[in-house]
Structure 1
Amino acid sequence: MSYPDKINFLELFGNQIKTLRNEKKLSLRELAQLCDIDYSDISKIEKGKRNIQMTTIVELAKGLQVHPQELFNFKIEE
C-alpha cells in the first residue's frame, strides 16, 4: 500500500470535511459557530492549507455531528 504525501493527505482530509459540511447543508460560518473554530480556519482546512491538532478534529466532528472516525473516511489513491 502506498501512502499519500503530507500535502495530498491534507487535501483529501479537507475534501472530506467539505463533503460532510455540504451534506449537512452548513455554511462555513454555521460550522464555525457549531465547533468554535474560526470560519477562515475551516476554509483553510478544507483547502488542505492547514495542518490541525487532535483537539480540532474533535471540534470538527462535534460541529458536524459525526464520530471523529468519519472525518477520515476517504479513499487514498494508490
Structure 2
Amino acid sequence: MGNSVEKTDFQIAFGRQIEKFRTEQNLSYRQLAQRCDIDHSNISKIEKGEINIQLSSVLQLAKGLSISPKELFDFNFDLGDVIS
C-alpha cells in the first residue's frame, strides 16, 4: 500500500507545481489547455493529482507554461524509505 500512497503524494505535489505556474501566469484551465493541447478537464485532474501523466504531457505542459520541464519537478518531496 505504501507504494501507491507515495505515487499519489508525488502526483499531488507535481499537480501543485502545475497549478502554481498556471495561477502565477493568470491562466485558466482552458487557456493552458489551448497552449499545450491537453483537455482542460485533464489539466484540473493533473493539478489534483488524480491522473498519472506521460512524459510527453510533461513536455506539453512545460511548453504551455513557457518554462523548462525541470522546473515542473523543482519541489520538495520526501522519498523516505524508498531510496534506502
TM-score (norm 2): 0.85
RCO higher in structure (CA 8 A, sep ≥6): 1
Cα deviation for residue 76 of structure 1 reads 1.5
For 1:76 and 1:55, the matched residues in 2 are separated by 22
Q: Alpha-carbon deviation of 1:37? A: 0.3
- Give runs of ≥4 in structure 1 deviating > 2 Å: none
Kindly report which structure 2 residues correspond to 1:40-59, keeping only aligned pairs within 5 A, or say none. Answer: 40-59=41-60
1:5 match: secondary structure: helix
Looking at secondary structure, tell me which structure has more helix per residue. 2
Query: d(CA) in 1 for partners of 2:77 and 2:60?
Result: 24
Q: Which residue of 1 aligns with 2:18?
A: 17
Unmatched segments (≥5 aa) in structure 2? none
Aligned to 2:34: 33
Q: Which runs of 5+ in 1 are unaligned?
A: none
Larger radius of gyration: 2
The alignment's C-alpha RMSD in Å is 1.2
For residue 12 of structure 1, what is the amino acid of its counterpart?
A
* Count, aligned residues: 75
Which amino acid is the alignment partner of residue 74 of structure 2? Answer: N
**Aligned partners of 1:24 and 1:74: how far apart in 2?**
18
The AA in structure 2 aligned to 1:67 is S
Structure 1 counterpart SS, 2:64: helix
What is the deviation of 1:23? Answer: 0.6
Residue 74 (structure 1) aligned with residue 54 (structure 2): no
